[in-house]
Structure 1
Amino acid sequence: MKEAYKRNRIFIYAALIAFSLYLASFVLYPQKLPNAVIKYCVIGFDTIPFTTKVPPDVGGRYINNVSNQQDINCFAWWEFIALNWSLPEGDFFGKPFDTLYPVQWETYITKEALFPPKGAPPVSWNSLAAVKKNITLAGKRVSTTAKILTVSSKFTPEALSRFDSTVIDSGGSQQVFPFNGPNWLGAQNNTNVWYEVRLNKDLYNYVVANQFYNANNQVTYVSKGTRMSLPYGVPNTDTIGAIECKAAWMEVNDIKNPKWKRYKLSKAVVQDLNTGLYRNTVLALVGLHILHKTQSQQSWVWATFEQIDNVPANPGNVCDTCGYNFYNPHCTNCSPNQPPSYYITPGGRGPSPIQVTRVNALDQSATSVNSTVQKFIGQNYPGSVWQYYQLVNVIWSQNYGKTSQDSLRVPLNTTILNQPGTNVANTTLETYIQGSACFSCHKMATVASSTTFASDFSFAMGSASAPATKRSLSKMSK
C-alpha cells in the first residue's frame, strides 16, 4: 500500500509540474492565435475575405466570375490581402513598425535561390527560412538569413565586378526600364530603390519536378515541340497556381519619423552601390506587382499596387505639404520621368532624387474599390499600414487566355486579350515606360538559353543556367 501511495504521489507531482510548465509557456512564449473570425468586405456582388488563404482563381461564393473590371479588381485586392498577412498568422494585419514577422509573399523563394548558378538544384522549400548566406558585414565575415537586396539597374562593368554574383542578377534585372543605360530610381530622401522577385511554392514545385533549374532541360523540353506552360490555380481547391511577386522597396533613413507607420517595413542587408559593401538597413514597401496564373486567366492576372504617398494622384492635384516619396512639388526645373544621366559607380556620385509623375490616371473602377477597401481596413484593423496602399490597375482577359499562349515561340499573341482602357504602370516599377502595358515585355519572355522559345510570360524562367561543361571546366583549370 505504501509503495502504491508513493507512486501515485510522484505521478501527481509530475503532472502538476508538467501542467505548470505548460501554463508558463504561454507567458514565456506567447502563442500566436489565428483569427477565428474572418471579416468580409462586400462590394456590389463581390466579397473580399480577409484571410491568409490565397485565392486560386475566381469562383465560389466570394467572386463567382469575372465579368467586369470591378470583379477582377476585387480579386486583386483579395490576393493582396492574403499575400500581405504576417506569418506565422497572428491576430494583426499590417501592424505599424513591425519588422519581426515577414508577410506571406516574403517567405516565397527568391528568383536567385530557385535558379542557383551552374544549373544546380535549389534547396528544399521547407529549409528556405534557414538558408544562410556568407557576407562581409562591418568588416566581419558573417552568416545571415536576412533579406539581401541590390538595386535593380544596369551596371557598368566596373561596378558589376564589385558585386556578389551569387546574390545579384548579373545579367542585369530590368525592373524600372529595360534599356541600355542608367535606370536606377532615386527617392526624395536621396536613397535608392531596391527590388526583389519572389516565386510561390506551386511555381517552385513545377521547376523542381521538371528540373528546369537546369537551362539545358528547358531547351530540351521545348525543342520537342511542347510549349512551356506554368501551373494555374484551380477554383475551390488548394492548387494556387504560379505566382510571381515583384517588389520595390524604398530605403528608410529616418526610422523615428512617424510617416513610416503608413508603410510595410522590413529589415534587410543591401550592397551599397558606391562602395560594394554590405550594410544593414530598413526598407519600406512602395510598389508590388502580383502576377498570378489561374484557370480562368491562363494569360495571367496582372495586378499592381503602390503606397499612396509615392506621387500625386494626378499632376493637376498636388499637395505642397504631403511629402511625396518620388515627387518634389517645389522643384520648378525638374523634368518628370527622365532616366538618370549617370551610372552609380564605386566611389562615384550617389543617388539623387528622380522627379516622378503618374502618366496614366488611376482607373475609375480601381479608385472606387480602393476607397471601399481602405475604409474597411481602417475600421476593422485600426492603424493597419495596408489602408495606405492602393490598386493601380489590373490586366485580364475575357477570352480565357488560351490562344495567347498556344504559340511555341515569341512573341506570344496578346491581341485577343481584353485590356483596360488605360495602360497599367507602377510609378516605382515602370517609372520610365509608363506608356507600355505588361504584355508589351512579357510576351517576349523566353526559356533559358533561348531567344525564340516562349516561357509562358515568365521572365523568371529565363534565369536558369547550365552546368559547366567539361570544356569550360578545363579552361577554368588552366
Structure 2
Amino acid sequence: MSSSIRLRTSLLHVMVLIAGSGFLAIYPEVGACVCPVPDKTPVTVPVDYVTPADIKVNGHANSPCATLQQAASFAWQEFISLNWPAATSIQNKPARDTPDTTRFFGDSSFTGPLVWHTFRGKVEIFPVKNMLADSGKKDYGYDQPPSYSYQGAGVNVNLPPGAKNPGYQTPWINLDENSQIGLNKIYAGVVSSIPQDTNAQILFMAKANRAEYTYVTSNKWWYPPPELFSRTNAFVKESKGDPTPGSNNCDNQLPTGQCVSFPNGTIEVKAGWRKLTADEAKSGRFYITQVRHYVSPDNSAANILAVDEPMGLVGLHIIQKTPTAPYFIYATFEQADNITDANGTPIEDVDGNYRVLTNTTPMTPNIVSQNAGPGTQQQFTVKGSYPATPGKQLYYQNITGSEHGLPDGGIILVNKRINEIPPEIVDVNQIAHSAIALYATQKKLQRTPVWMYYKLVNVQYVPITGKVSGIDDYPRSTYYQSNSVIETDYNLQKFSGEFVDFNGKQFNITDFTAENGDLHNVAYFNTSHIGVGVNMGGCMGCHGNSQAAGGDFSFILFDAPVQAPEWDSKSLNDKSFARFATYLRRP
C-alpha cells in the first residue's frame, strides 16, 4: 500500500470515529440510557449455521450502539450461516431456509444449494396468481420446489430442453434482472473486451425468506392494492416511523385499512452473477452453481428463452429487519477480484486492501457532479473521453435516451470504488478469513473454502445524521456504502435524498424537497419512541425511499406482481422501464 493511500485511509478512519461521536451527541438518549459503557469485547467471527437475529452490544440486542466492527461481525455471521449447505428435505418432506447441520461450511464436495439459495425468488413470492395461498398449509406452500411462472400479457417463456422431464432440477438461482433498477447495465472486461458483450454481463436476482413470504401471502399482497402503499405512506409521514413489525393494521391509527410492516427476521438478498473465463472457473476463487437466465433472440417478449448454465457469484447483498434496526441492516459482500486494472489484475486483496492502484479517479471518464440545490437540478461534467473498449476492467453503461440526466456517451470504466472500504471492515475481513481457515483445518476440508475469496465491503446498521444537503463529499464510506457490483454508477454509489422524478425517468438525485427544504428519506422511532427523520445515503437511503412510498424498505414488494423476467439484450432505453413505474416514488 502506498504512503498516500495509507494516509488517506488513516484520515478516513479518524473521520469515521469523529462522525460516530457526533451521532451520540445528536441522540443523547442512546448514549446515556442504552449504552453507557462501551463494549470492549474483542470482535470475533464464529463459523456457525445459526443466522444472528440482531447486533449484540454488551450481550444485548442493540444495533444503534454497535461499533462498525461489531456490525461487520454480525454481517459475516449472516454471510456464513446463509452460505451454509442447505437441507432441502427433513424426514422426506421438502424444506427451505434450513441448514444441513451434518455438513461443513465451505465443503467443496457439497454440490447442492446453500441456505439463501432456497429462499423464494421474486416471482415465487409475488406471482400474478398465487396457487398456493389457499393450500391450507401454515406456510402457504413455501417449501415447494423452485418454480418460476411468468404470466404477464404477451409473455412467453420457453424452458430449456428437458426442463419438463421427470427429475430435471430447476435451478435455485433465477436471474430475472439484467440491469440495476433500469439505470445501467454492468459488464466484466476480463470476460470479453467487446463493449456491452452479453457474455460479459453481470446479471441479478432478488430473494426473500420464509418470514417475508408468509407475511405477504397471509395478507394476499402478492398483488398489492395501490391504497396499501398510500395508506402506509400516510402513516410514515404522520408518525415518522413504521407500524409495529409484523402487523398490518397501521397500529389502529388508520382503522379503515391496512399498512405494511414486515416482521422482524425478514431477510432479502440481492446477488450478482456472471459467466467466468476458463481460468476463473478452475481457480477455486469463485463460487459456481447452475443458474437460470433469460434471453430473446428476436428481442421480443413473445419469444423469451430460459437458459440454464453455470455462473460465478460476484456480489451478495443481505438486508435484515431486526428488533433494534427496523430500518433493516444492509451488508454487501463481493468476490475479491471484481475490480481490476486494464490488464485484468485485481486492485484489492481478499481483505480489501489496495494491491495496486494506477488510476487516481474512480471512473474513466471522470464523472463529476454539480449537485442539486434548492430549486436547481444535479448536473454532470464528463472529464475525458469515453473509452472505445474496456480492456479487462469492470465497466457500466447508463441508460440512453433523453432527459434522464445521467452521463450516457459510452461505456464508463470502474478504476476503484468511489467510497473506499474502511479499515475497520478490512480488519474484520482478516478476522473472518482466519476463522474460516482454522475451521477448514479443524474439519480437514480437502480444499480451501471458496469463501476465503469473498469480502465484506461495508455494512450500514444505523441511520447516520449530519448530512449537509447538496453536498456528496461526505467523509464516511459507511454513509454511502462501498459497493462496486451491486451499485456501480455514480448516482447509486453517491445516493442520498431521492431521485428527482423516477416516474418521469429523471434520475438526478437531490437532498431537497419540492418546497426546497431538507429532505429526510429514513424515518424511525428512537428509544423514547419519538419519530425521527434522517437523510441517509447509500443502500439504506435508497431503500428509505421505498419506506416513504409505503413499502417498508422493500423494493420487490413494489415490483409485485412479477409478470416477466428482464430479457432485453439491447442498450438500455425508455422501453426498458415499464416494470419500474412504481419504484422510488412517493404517492
Fold equivalence (TM over 0.5) = yes
- Alignment of 1:67 with 2:78, yes or no, is no
Change (3 A) 1:67 1:274: same
Change (3 A) 1:230 1:212: farther
Q: Could you tell me how far 1:358 is from its partner in structure 2?
A: 2.0
Q: Could you tell me how far 1:296 is from its partner in structure 2?
A: 1.0
Deviations 1:231-285 (A, max 9, x none): 47xxxxxx861111111112235389421x2222211232235564333311211
Q: Could you tell me how far 1:80 is from its partner in structure 2?
A: 0.9
The structure 2 residue matched to 1:107, chosen from 111, 118, 126, is 118
Corresponding residue number in structure 2 for 1:79: 78
Corresponding residue number in structure 2 for 1:38: none
CA distance in 1, matches of 2:211, 2:222: 14
Corresponding residue number in structure 1 for 2:454: 389
Q: Which has the larger radius of gyration?
A: 1
CA distance in 1, matches of 2:162, 2:460: 47
Change (3 A) 1:457 1:230: farther
CA distance in 1, matches of 2:80, 2:163: 39
CA distance in 2, matches of 1:193, 1:219: 34
Deviations 1:283-324 (A, max 9, x none): 21110111111111111111111111112238974289xxxx
Residue 425 of structure 2 aligns to a residue whose secondary structure is: helix
Change (3 A) 1:341 1:107: closer
Matches within 5 A, 1:275-424: 276-311=304-339, 312-313=347-348, 317-318=355-356, 334=390, 339-340=396-397, 355=414, 357-382=416-441, 383-397=448-462, 423-424=480-481
CA distance in 2, matches of 1:426, 1:306: 8
Q: Could you tell me how far 1:146 is from its partner in structure 2?
A: 1.9
Deviations 1:318-349 (A, max 9, x none): 289xxxxxxxxxx9975977533799xxxxxx
TM-score, structure 1 as length reference: 0.63
TM-score, structure 2 as length reference: 0.52
Corresponding residue number in structure 2 for 1:129: 145
Q: 1:94 corresponds to which letter in structure 2?
A: G
Name structure 1 gaps, 5 residues minimum: 1-42, 155-173, 233-238, 321-330, 344-351, 402-417, 447-451, 468-478
Change (3 A) 1:147 1:72: same
**Kept in 2: contact 1:47–1:63 (CA 8 A):** no
**Kept in 1: contact 2:186–2:394 (CA 8 A):** no
Change (3 A) 1:273 1:385: farther
CA distance in 2, matches of 1:202, 1:426: 27
Q: 1:136 corresponds to which letter in structure 2?
A: L
Change (3 A) 1:139 1:291: closer
**Is 213-222 or 283-292 further displaced after alignment?**
213-222
Residue 381 of structure 1 aligns to a residue whose secondary structure is: helix
**Kept in 1: contact 2:122–2:562 (CA 8 A):** no
Residue 310 of structure 1 aligns to a residue whose secondary structure is: coil
Residue 337 of structure 2 aligns to a residue whose secondary structure is: coil
Change (3 A) 1:49 1:60: farther
Deviations 1:47-69 (A, max 9, x none): 43322211111238867644311
CA distance in 1, matches of 2:332, 2:463: 19
Q: 2:54 corresponds to which letter in structure 1?
A: D
Q: Could you tell me how far 1:113 is from its partner in structure 2?
A: 0.9
Corresponding residue number in structure 2 for 1:460: 556
Corresponding residue number in structure 2 for 1:252: 276
Residue 85 of structure 1 aligns to a residue whose secondary structure is: coil
**Kept in 1: contact 2:332–2:458 (CA 8 A):** yes
The structure 2 residue matched to 1:214, chosen from 199, 219, 223, is 223
Q: 2:68 corresponds to which letter in structure 1?
A: Q
Corresponding residue number in structure 1 for 2:526: none
CA distance in 2, matches of 1:363, 1:430: 17
Name structure 2 gaps, 5 residues minimum: 1-39, 88-99, 150-156, 193-199, 237-241, 247-262, 299-303, 340-346, 359-386, 401-410, 442-447, 466-474, 496-537, 564-587
CA distance in 1, matches of 2:146, 2:130: 22
- Alignment of 1:152 with 2:177, yes or no, is yes
Residue 432 of structure 2 aligns to a residue whose secondary structure is: helix
Q: Could you tell me how far 1:219 is from its partner in structure 2?
A: 1.9
CA distance in 1, matches of 2:60, 2:47: 14
Q: 1:189 corresponds to which letter in structure 2?
A: V
Residue 153 of structure 1 aligns to a residue whose secondary structure is: coil
Change (3 A) 1:150 1:81: closer
Change (3 A) 1:53 1:215: same
Q: Could you tell me how far 1:394 is from its partner in structure 2?
A: 0.8
Q: 1:443 corresponds to which letter in structure 2?
A: G
Change (3 A) 1:48 1:272: same
Residue 278 of structure 2 aligns to a residue whose secondary structure is: coil
Deviations 1:388-439 (A, max 9, x none): 111101112178x9xxxxxxxxxxxxxxxx9755521321111113223113
**Kept in 2: contact 1:243–1:292 (CA 8 A):** yes
Corresponding residue number in structure 2 for 1:434: 493
Change (3 A) 1:319 1:439: closer
Q: Could you tell me how far 1:106 is from its partner in structure 2?
A: 0.7
Residue 75 of structure 1 aligns to a residue whose secondary structure is: helix
Corresponding residue number in structure 1 for 2:377: none
CA distance in 2, matches of 1:389, 1:118: 38
Q: Could you tell me how far 1:118 is from its partner in structure 2?
A: 5.1
Residue 86 of structure 1 aligns to a residue whose secondary structure is: coil
CA distance in 2, matches of 1:466, 1:247: 18
Corresponding residue number in structure 2 for 1:405: none
Percent identical among aligned pairs is 24
CA distance in 2, matches of 1:315, 1:130: 39
Q: 1:202 corresponds to which letter in structure 2?
A: A
The CA RMSD measured in Å over matched residues stands at 4.0
Corresponding residue number in structure 1 for 2:208: 199
Corresponding residue number in structure 1 for 2:294: 271
Change (3 A) 1:121 1:387: same
**Kept in 1: contact 2:127–2:562 (CA 8 A):** no
Corresponding residue number in structure 2 for 1:36: none
